């Protein structure tokens, strides 16, 4: 065994600030403001969430060919996602084992190895050491083998690559649980059953805590306020999906995942591709492919559309676009966002990209306003009183469905309560009680 | 305010022929466009555009393909209008209050002329001030200017941000 295979020091056990009373800071219907502002809590979250649970890192289509690589991240960690010559995916930490320099400066590329520019130590794209120059200084070749750090567990679901810094723990499939079906719903929209992440990513800064973003993603209460400007001028039907009379629901999917399930509204309206603001007549090639592939089942797929799901802690799929949330500090987060592209659906892809570009990112007709709210929220939550944030909306009317999942109304905070229940579990488990 | 100044390029009434805009005409047009944007004079800014306009802020690289790659902004004429209407609702939160803006447009070069259209490039530096901070924006503009009924109009504006491959703050004003 080389050192490349040795486990990283387990950051899971990093203490953060001893004695943060998460069990008191997170109540069933309230959460404490310090959870968004305290740097010690942020450090604790890195250890107990980001460097431990499954975190979305990238998609296999971003490293489609052998020896492709792309730079990604897990929180503040700079992670190089590689595909080796045999096709296996690796997540390597961008740090030379010699002096800690970055070994990969390019955003993406194709290479079977990484050579540190500082003193020339070289690594395979699997993380193993190839060698070091001027070998006499080490008493000859291959006197030792220091590899790149690696994310010890890498797992792929439907092309989505996740990494976990914990050597052991729930499998990715266990972590995803009921959310896996929402990823299935997304890839099912492709006539070839695969999505592609090929459009590049916008990187949008939010001077706000990452949890404000994660909570907002399936908050059906805010759209009619935050987005009323664009709903009005674009005569969008999105606002009505999140109205008081909407039949859509918010569902806590377990493990902190949540969704706005808009299918009840789309089915009530019953228009194929209505979810995408278009019609079958305007996407004839795509609709024909889907109908020939799925037969009678195509009608439902075309009516239901894509998922609107937040996968804890950092992947948000919003029908036609995908966000990866990257926390950098208690008050700093980057939203990475790209258009979903469906393999085998060029007509859909053109429209998906242009719609997505209009909606998201720094100038997005939707996301600029969400981000404004995140930043105002971060400023507001630093005020000393009233200390608590309220997450009670809809608690009195939620119910448990046939899958055993908690369901609330379209505008209810059911998803947030699910997020916090899981957060509390992660932040408190393993500590002596 | 001087927004009533038009960009009519001198023509001879006798022949109706219009002379090619010179660098001074072009600079004056660019400065006016910049001032309308800085001062959030949305109607005046919109009136500069042709009907087939394209307003583009690439992401990731200066020349990424906007038909296959994400852009920060990729507005056809219709979406320019939507963007401005949204700003005018008074509920575009990312511009409440509006950013205080001033930009310098410089290094103006005429790159080429093709029929009635002139391609111009220029550098810019822009300071944005908002409650929660100040941002520095910089980059290179590419404009395609067209004479329409003797007046210069904007058919195309590309904004190649020097930071377009980096993390960007919200950009809800007109850049």
Closest residue by Cα to residue A111 from A99, A126, A101:
A126
A425 touches chain B (CB under 8 A): no
Q: Does position B12 have pLDDT exceeding 50, yes or no?
A: no
Q: Does position A4 have pLDDT exceeding 50, yes or no?
A: no
| Tally of CB atoms within 10 A around A2 | 12
B69 touches chain A (CB under 8 A): yes
Query: A120 vs chain B: nearest CA distance in angstroms?
Result: 27
- B9 and B151 in contact (C-beta within 8 Å)? yes
Query: What is the interface pTM, i.e. ipTM, of the complex?
Result: 0.93
Mean pLDDT of chain A: 94
Q: Token pair 């995140």 is at which residue?
A: A374
A365 touches chain B (CB under 8 A): yes
| Tally of CB atoms within 10 A around A345 | 23
Confidence of residue B13 (pLDDT cuts 50, 70, 90): very low
Angle formed by the axes of helices A284-294 and A297-304, nearest 10°:
130
Of the two residues A416 and B11, the one the predictor is more confident about is A416
pLDDT for position B4: 42
- Please, which residues 224-263 of chain A have a Cβ atom closer than 8 Å to chain B? 226, 228-230, 232-234
Convert the pLDDT of each residue in A344-403 to its tens digit. Answer: 999 999 999 999 999 999 999 999 999 999 999 999 999 999 999 999 999 999 999 999
Closest residue by Cα to residue A158 from A179, A180, A175, A191:
A180
| Tally of CB atoms within 10 A around B123 | 16
The C-alpha atoms of residue B75 and residue B77 are separated, in whole angstroms, by 6
Residue A9 vs residues A19, A51, A102, A334, B141: alpha-carbon distances, Å: 22, 11, 20, 27, 49
pTM, rounded to two decimals: 0.94
A14 touches chain B (CB under 8 A): no
Q: Does position A17 have pLDDT exceeding 70, yes or no?
A: no
A76 touches chain B (CB under 8 A): no
Query: A330 vs chain B: nearest CA distance in angstroms?
Result: 16
Tell me the percentage of chain A whose pLDDT exceeds 70.
Answer: 95
A contacts of B165 (beta carbons < 8 Å): 107
Q: Go through A303-337 and write b for each residue having 16 or more CB atoms within 10 A of its CB, e for each that does not.
A: bbbbbbbbbbbbbbbbbbbbbbbbbbebbbbbbbb
- Please, which residues 323-342 of chain A have a Cβ atom closer than 8 Å to chain B? 334, 337-339
- A97 and A121 in contact (C-beta within 8 Å)? yes
Rounded to an integer, the average pLDDT of A248-255 is: 98
The C-alpha atoms of residue A333 and residue A407 are separated, in whole angstroms, by 29
Q: Residue A356: in which H helix or E strand, if any? A: helix A346-359
B11 touches chain A (CB under 8 A): no
pLDDT for position A87: 97
- A301 and A289 in contact (C-beta within 8 Å)? no
């Amino acid at each position: 065994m080389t050192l490349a295979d040795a486990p990283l020091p387990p950051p899971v056990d990093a203490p953060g600030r001893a004695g943060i009373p998460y069990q008191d800071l997170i109540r069933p219907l309230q959460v404490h403001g310090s959870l968004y502002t305290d740097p010690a809590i942020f450090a604790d979250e890195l250890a107990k969430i980001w460097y431990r649970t499954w975190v979305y890192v990238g998609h296999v289509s971003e490293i489609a060919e052998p020896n492709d690589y792309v730079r990604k991240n897990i929180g503040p960690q700079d992670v190089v996602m590689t595909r080796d010559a045999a096709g296996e995916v690796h997540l390597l930490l961008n740090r030379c084992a010699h002096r800690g320099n970055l070994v990969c400066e390019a955003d993406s590329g194709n290479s079977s190895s990484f050579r540190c520019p500082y003193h020339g130590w070289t690594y395979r794209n699997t993380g193993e050491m190839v060698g070091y120059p001027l070998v006499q200084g080490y008493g000859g070749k291959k006197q030792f083998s220091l590899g790149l750090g690696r994310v010890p567990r890498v797992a792929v679901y439907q092309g989505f690559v996740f990494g976990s810094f914990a050597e052991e723990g729930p499998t990715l499939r266990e972590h995803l649980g009921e959310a896996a079906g929402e990823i299935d719903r997304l890839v099912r929209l492709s006539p070839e059953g695969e999505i592609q992440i090929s459009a590049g990513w916008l990187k949008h800064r939010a001077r706000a805590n990452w949890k404000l973003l994660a909570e907002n993603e399936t908050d059906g209460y805010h759209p009619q306020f935050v987005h009323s400007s664009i709903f009005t001028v674009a005569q969008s039907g999105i606002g009505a999906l999140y109205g008081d009379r909407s039949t859509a629901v918010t569902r806590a999917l377990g493990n902190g995942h949540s969704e706005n399930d808009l299918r009840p509204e789309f089915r009530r309206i019953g228009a194929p591709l209505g979810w995408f603001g278009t019609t079958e007549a305007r996407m004839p090639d795509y609709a024909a492919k889907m109908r020939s592939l799925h037969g009678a089942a195509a009608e439902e797929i075309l009516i239901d559309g894509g998922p609107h799901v937040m996968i804890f802690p950092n992947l948000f799929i919003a029908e036609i676009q995908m966000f990866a949330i990257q926390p950098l500090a208690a008050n700093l987060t980057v939203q990475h966002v790209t258009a979903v592209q469906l393999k085998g659906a060029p007509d859909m892809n053109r429209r998906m990209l242009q719609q997505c570009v209009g909606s998201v990112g720094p100038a997005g007709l939707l996301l600029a306003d969400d981000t404004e709210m995140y930043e105002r929220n971060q400023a507001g939550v630093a005020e000393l009183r009233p200390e608590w944030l309220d997450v009670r909306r809809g608690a009195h009317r939620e119910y448990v469905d046939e899958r055993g999942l908690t369901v609330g109304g379209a505008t209810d905070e059911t998803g947030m309560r699910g997020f916090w229940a899981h957060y509390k579990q992660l932040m408190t488990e393993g500590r002596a009680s | 305010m001087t927004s009533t100044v038009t960009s009519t390029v001198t023509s001879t009434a006798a022949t109706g022929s219009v002379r090619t805009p010179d660098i001074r005409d072009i600079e004056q047009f660019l400065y006016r466009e910049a001032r309308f944007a800085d001062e959030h004079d949305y109607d005046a800014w919109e009136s500069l555009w042709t009907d087939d306009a394209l307003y583009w802020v690439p992401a990731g690289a200066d020349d990424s393909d906007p038909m296959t790659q994400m852009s920060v902004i990729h507005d056809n004429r219709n979406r320019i209008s939507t963007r401005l209407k949204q700003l005018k609702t008074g509920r575009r939160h990312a511009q409440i209050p509006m950013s205080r803006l001033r930009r310098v447009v410089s290094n103006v070069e005429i790159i080429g002329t093709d029929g009635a259209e002139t391609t111009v490039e220029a550098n810019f530096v822009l300071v944005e001030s908002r409650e929660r901070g100040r941002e520095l924006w910089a980059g290179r503009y590419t404009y395609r200017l067209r004479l329409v009924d003797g007046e210069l109009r904007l058919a195309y504006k590309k904004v190649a941000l020097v930071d377009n491959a980096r993390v960007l703050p919200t950009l809800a004003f007109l850049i």
